[in-house]
Amino acid sequence: MANRHSTERQPARWLPLFLLAACWPRQAAAVPSFAEQTGQPCASCHVGAFGPQLRQFGRDFKLGGYTATDGSPHFPPIAAMAFGSFTHTSADQQGGAVRWFAPNDNVALDQASFYYGGAIGKHLGAFIQVTYDGIARQIGIDNTDIRYSRERHILGIDTVWGLTLNNAPTVTDLWNSTPVWGFPYNGSNLAPTPQASTLIDGALGQLVVGLGGYAMWNNWVYTELDLYRGLSRELRNALGTVPVAGTSEVADTAPYWRLAVQHDYGRAYWQVGTYGIDAHVLPPVAAPAGQTDHRTDFAADANWQFVFYPRLVASDIISAHATIIAENEALHASSALFGTRAHDRLTTMRADVSYSIGATITPTVQIFHSTGTEDRALWNTANGSPDSTGYVLEIAYVPWGKPKSLIGWGNLRLAVQYIGYTQFGGTSHGASRNNTLYPNLWLAWHF
């Protein structure tokens, strides 16, 4: 298993890099302009008074296209975020973590972002993020979800339906079990991470554009279908989205589907569902006779929440999330070009539970496991195995974002995260060398 720069030395280097892109920790968002627009504190929408983990009010707000308001005039919903951290790994990384950084004990401004977050019109709203990546030292368009939403009675049943234009599969999702908004909500790009990841698990973020429709029937059944096309390299460069060297491109239209069943009992809430994507991807070098690799991801997920004091905005809340993603890989182009197996499989599982105390202190525990077909031409590991297993421990402190908080124009989140590995790159030997301590500070404010 390797970090970013070391994977580039392999004969089939584009394959590990393409999958590694999906493993890079995502910086999720908590946008104070939403609180400004609705007149509600952060804790009304978010577990722990800081995003992206949502309560029912937050899920409804997103479902309605970010357009809910308190009826008062507001400034344009523009917000900003800055995120800094310290990364310590159990062993130094030979040659440095990445370019511009030392082998260990790195302090970094991970990200700085501006957001447009809120209503554009009566039925039109958006979440648009522009981010400076302090690790790669580049600026570009980040997570984007533009929605048109309406509420209608269809066959006598209350139905919320809408259209979405977005740039990442699962960025539209209402739940914190799917990849874009799943725990850990932030993580270090300066630490080794498992190489193997499914296509839907972040590999296409900001490299595609998708148009789709969604509906919530009777507040019980949610459905969504989006169609994604790959952005040209020229357009990606214009938007500041520079992928990892050797990243593959979506060859044609890739459908993404989502089906979920949910129910809110007031104090208790549950959801179960399935999602997935089917895509043909082109390798970064010419494939024989226009061949492509065909990747199909099938996933299942579940969410559960329990609110101890439903009438209190700053209530104690237990939340649990789980997902499993199974990918079937028909590697026609890669087999011809690099000698990989013609067919591989990869399965990823994650499950976490958190307990938010007064929307102020939130400890979280996660376990994760990936397993797949041994393929020495595909995986950059000593034995050709992509298997990795580990856990994440985190405790977060959020002082504001509750009723009567001293500061109403912003919020901060101070967290300490520890990532431990019992298996890394198909072996348990030396896996703990990749363990990472990651204290971080996350600031967000609106204008």
pLDDT digit string, tens, across residues 52-73: 999 999 999 999 999 998 888 7
Q: Is the pLDDT of residue 12 over 80?
A: no
Task: Average the pLDDT over 402-431 and give the result.
Answer: 93
Report which DSSP code applies to 257: E
Has residue 245 got a pLDDT over 60?
no
For tokens 């937050």, name the residue: 58
pLDDT tens digits, one per residue of 161-210: 999 999 999 999 999 999 999 999 999 999 999 888 999 998 899 999 99
Arithmetic mean of pLDDT, 297-319: 95
Residue length of the chain: 447
What pLDDT score does 276 carry?
98
For the cut 90, the answer to whether the pLDDT of residue 400 exceeds it is yes
Which pLDDT tens digit goes with each residue over 204-231? 999 999 999 999 999 999 999 999 999 8
* CATH number where 413 lies: 2.40.160.10
Q: Over the Cα atoms of the chain, what is R_g?
A: 21
> In this predicted structure, what is the pLDDT of residue 244?
57
Question: Of 23-37, 65-79, 396-410, which gets the smallest average pLDDT?
Answer: 23-37
The predicted structure's pLDDT at residue 285: 74
Q: What is the pLDDT of residue 351?
A: 98
Task: Kindly state the percentage of the chain with pLDDT values over 70.
Answer: 91
- Predicted confidence at residue 26, as pLDDT, reads 43
For residue 155, the model assigns a pLDDT of: 84
Answer yes or no: is pLDDT of 237 > 90: no
Judged against a pLDDT cut of 70, whether residue 19 lies above it is answered with no
**Count of domains in the chain?**
1
The three-point CA angle 236-240-241 to 5° equals 55
Q: What is the pTM of this model?
A: 0.90
Q: Which residues contact 171 (CB under 8 A, 6 or more apart)?
A: 143, 144, 145, 180, 181, 205
By C-alpha distance, which of 79, 82, 134, 142 is closest to 112?
Answer: 82
Confidence of residue 40 (pLDDT cuts 50, 70, 90): confident
**Confidence at 7, pLDDT banded by 50, 70, 90:** very low
Winning range, highest mean pLDDT, from 60-74, 77-91, 245-259: 77-91
The predicted pLDDT at position 364 comes to 98
Tokens of 266: 């007031």
Q: Which two tokens stand for residue 119?
A: 């209503």
Supply the mean pLDDT for the chain. Answer: 89
CA dist 309 → 113, 268, 437 (Å)? 34, 11, 34
Structural domain of 210: 4-446
Collapse the DSSP code of 432 into the 3-class scheme (helix H, G, I; strand E, B; otherwise coil) and give the result.
helix
Q: Cis (ω within 30 of 0) for the bond into 284? A: no
* Residue 278 predicted with pLDDT over 50: yes
